[in-house]
Structure 1
């Protein structure tokens, strides 16, 4: 009787696990026997859902539970998922979508972009080199949070520490860089604040190179979401080579048994993403400054880079949903398109005293405008007053403005490609007599 009781108890405990393993195998016919055994033994998650997510082991399919959670958050508005968000056009600086972007927000590790900006400026000035070596001290090696797992007395190059700062958000790496560049952490923070002033970020306030909350002074790095956008644009414009770093999926150092994946939850998931920086503290919530490119088609469109920012997300999955929605929908919708054609007439006009009744007008140079994927372009022509023949080839005679939803998006100069000759004397006499007869008829 006792043996039967023990058997029944064991069956009651393990039966749900067996059923779950069986259901997982049914959901995905490709599930191997070993996978099923692993689930039964509690060794492995079944990642078989038709959605990809960031994990500690890189981008993988979601588990059933993760997929359910993501679907739940997809039903929410961005204002429910974030404390602020912004989608902006890198080229023009135009803000395309936004919410609460002028409230000063804690930056957490997104403030490492300021630190990296300062380091890159010093490399550009020649005061340091990417090949310089940096000795890791106890303070850097002891920092909490995201880490490159540096040890005291390690020696790393500036280049390696830059990668660790951007890819895995290493607090140890950026602190070591800061002390190497500034001589002290305090002096480097002064350099960070000076950089923010140089960029016109009036609300920016930096207290350390990492973005960690300094509980000793109860303060942290901060700026508005609009200013984060300005910072990101300026950094990419000044040092586009940083995107070669931020687009890397992981850092792997076999010699010290280190492998960590990029903290960016949109990288490898939203098509076109190649940067930029995550952040998290209790004060900031989950943050992300993301950027990506929609490639040109080679005929009618140009490469289009967008920057998307979300701040204050309560958890990782909310950030994942918010950032991927903002960037994927933005890159799907917006595209720079070519406008005007130097080889085809933009307009046909009559010019006073011209030998020909009609004159073709062309744009001097082709332009481009950011298209929202649905709106029609409207044109308005503005010609110089008193246009009169003769007019030389290539002479500017006015301009055309293009509008989308009532807003001006482009202005192009107008020229003539053929000389506009003046009428001959016989034509002038003929016109004089025609005017006389017209006036007689009108008076009759």
Structure 2
């Protein structure tokens, strides 16, 4: 009887574990998108994929690249008159009219929120002089980012011969764009108040990305739609230190698909605490010591990863070959790049762990000839 009870107890415990595991098993989502991908915004690791390297038209998600290049071009708040021909374009619009006075910042908002094709064309012509030359800039940047399935013809996303990308490429592009704080700030807004026009006047632009108010933690990025491309969506979502980027192309049910993919992703990825190095030094010149010790603000950083560990992390000191004294304690003196398997995760400041005072150079003793020359010089100057 006792043996039976023992066997029964083991059976119940085993069944309990099996049921518990089954309930908490992470099931991959069944989605409508033709292609999709979910990556860690920190490491770039793929968390979920469905045909993610297949090249397809990506509609107005193209404007992620256009906006990034616009933000990087400088002079964001300088006013200018939009090119009359550039703004004559079909599709979605931020409401530009001939003679309107705008800024590049306003055009970026017009691209990311109401998905203005007029804004994209106006930015392209302002920056590069023509849409064709701007497309060359877009493709050059895509090449530098390693976007092997991406080719741009238009700044707006309206189809051109060969214009397209893959879900994976668009996720990597979004990851790059979101490193720009202004880009991140704009695409996270559900609406924004701007001034532009002839003369400029105040108006509101509304974001087409409904996912911002539908799912906790979503902070971007860009919608897209054309008859050829179907519904396209690039989004980003962060909960605690888990930061994810999701892309779907040609997806009739994109809002729900993104939420389902995020549910899967947040259950799948884990947080990795990375211990930062403590023995960082840089050479100094003209000070009372030859080495300056550098420290980080925090002893560790937390990143979102699928299967990575601390052995996959590399650190690179970003500094001049040497630092001139004096240096004050706590002063930012260099930067530390954190990489995961060769891909940058973050770059953080390094601070002086001590003060380095400038070394006083004793005056040179004057020779006999110099003394005689100075004496004669003072005599004849009388």
Q: For residue 245 of structure 1, what is the aligned residue in structure 2?
A: 186
Instruction: Assess, with a 3 A threshold, how the Cα gap between structure 1 residues 244 and 281 changes in structure 2: closer, same or farther.
Output: same
Segments of 5+ residues of structure 1 without an aligned counterpart are 1-76, 124-128, 296-302, 343-364, 381-444
Q: How does 1:164-313 map to 2 (within 5 A)?
A: 164-214=110-160, 219=161, 221-237=163-179, 239-252=180-193, 258-295=203-240, 303-313=241-251
Q: For residue 395 of structure 1, what is the aligned residue in structure 2?
A: none
Equivalent pair of 1:108/1:213 in contact (CA under 8 Å): yes
Q: Secondary structure at the match of 1:293?
A: strand
State how far apart, in whole Å, the 2-side matches of 1:213 and 1:90 are. 28
Cα deviation, residue 322, structure 1: 0.8
Equivalent pair of 2:273/2:303 in contact (CA under 8 Å): yes
Q: Secondary structure at the match of 1:241?
A: helix
Equivalent pair of 1:134/1:176 in contact (CA under 8 Å): no
Equivalent pair of 2:209/2:222 in contact (CA under 8 Å): yes
Q: For residue 45 of structure 2, what is the aligned residue in structure 1?
A: 94
Instruction: Assess, with a 3 A threshold, how the Cα gap between structure 1 residues 172 and 122 changes in structure 2: closer, same or farther.
Output: same
Equivalent pair of 1:108/1:221 in contact (CA under 8 Å): no
With structure 1 as the length reference, what TM-score do the two structures score? 0.53
Give deviations 1:367-405, integer Å, cap 9, x for gaps: 756467xx9x9999xxxxxxxxxxxxxxxxxxxxxxxxx
State how far apart, in whole Å, the 1-side matches of 2:309 and 2:127 are. 52
State how far apart, in whole Å, the 1-side matches of 2:148 and 2:245 are. 21
Give deviations 1:128-180, integer Å, cap 9, x for gaps: x0112231233333222111011111011111111111111111111111100
Number of aligned positions between the proteins: 259
In the alignment, is residue 112 of structure 1 matched against residue 63 of structure 2? yes
Instruction: Assess, with a 3 A threshold, how the Cα gap between structure 1 residues 366 and 133 changes in structure 2: closer, same or farther.
Output: closer
Instruction: Assess, with a 3 A threshold, how the Cα gap between structure 1 residues 211 and 339 changes in structure 2: closer, same or farther.
Output: closer
Equivalent pair of 2:45/2:305 in contact (CA under 8 Å): no
In the alignment, is residue 321 of structure 1 matched against residue 252 of structure 2? no
State how far apart, in whole Å, the 1-side matches of 2:219 and 2:83 are. 32
Cα deviation, residue 223, structure 1: 1.4
Instruction: Assess, with a 3 A threshold, how the Cα gap between structure 1 residues 367 and 115 changes in structure 2: closer, same or farther.
Output: closer
Give deviations 1:226-261, integer Å, cap 9, x for gaps: 111221112223x13311111111134598685442
With structure 2 as the length reference, what TM-score do the two structures score? 0.61
State how far apart, in whole Å, the 2-side matches of 1:186 and 1:266 are. 33
Cα deviation, residue 335, structure 1: 4.0
Which deviates more, 195-204 or 331-340? 331-340
Q: For residue 97 of structure 2, what is the aligned residue in structure 1?
A: 151
Instruction: Assess, with a 3 A threshold, how the Cα gap between structure 1 residues 177 and 326 changes in structure 2: closer, same or farther.
Output: same
Structure having the higher Rg: 1
Q: How does 1:291-370 map to 2 (within 5 A)?
A: 291-295=236-240, 303-314=241-252, 318-331=253-266, 333-338=268-273, 368=302, 370=304
Q: Secondary structure at the match of 2:250?
A: strand
Instruction: Assess, with a 3 A threshold, how the Cα gap between structure 1 residues 79 and 285 changes in structure 2: closer, same or farther.
Output: farther
State how far apart, in whole Å, the 2-side matches of 1:186 and 1:93 are. 31
More helix by share: 1
Instruction: Assess, with a 3 A threshold, how the Cα gap between structure 1 residues 145 and 368 changes in structure 2: closer, same or farther.
Output: same
State how far apart, in whole Å, the 2-side matches of 1:253 and 1:199 are. 32
Instruction: Assess, with a 3 A threshold, how the Cα gap between structure 1 residues 222 and 274 changes in structure 2: closer, same or farther.
Output: same
Instruction: Assess, with a 3 A threshold, how the Cα gap between structure 1 residues 266 and 340 changes in structure 2: closer, same or farther.
Output: same
Give deviations 1:281-307, integer Å, cap 9, x for gaps: 111110111002112xxxxxxx22100
Cα deviation, residue 85, structure 1: 0.9
Cα deviation, residue 333, structure 1: 4.9
Segments of 5+ residues of structure 2 without an aligned counterpart are 1-27, 278-298, 312-382
Q: Runs (4+) of structure 1 moved beyond 6 Å?
A: 339-342, 377-380
Instruction: Assess, with a 3 A threshold, how the Cα gap between structure 1 residues 329 and 182 changes in structure 2: closer, same or farther.
Output: same
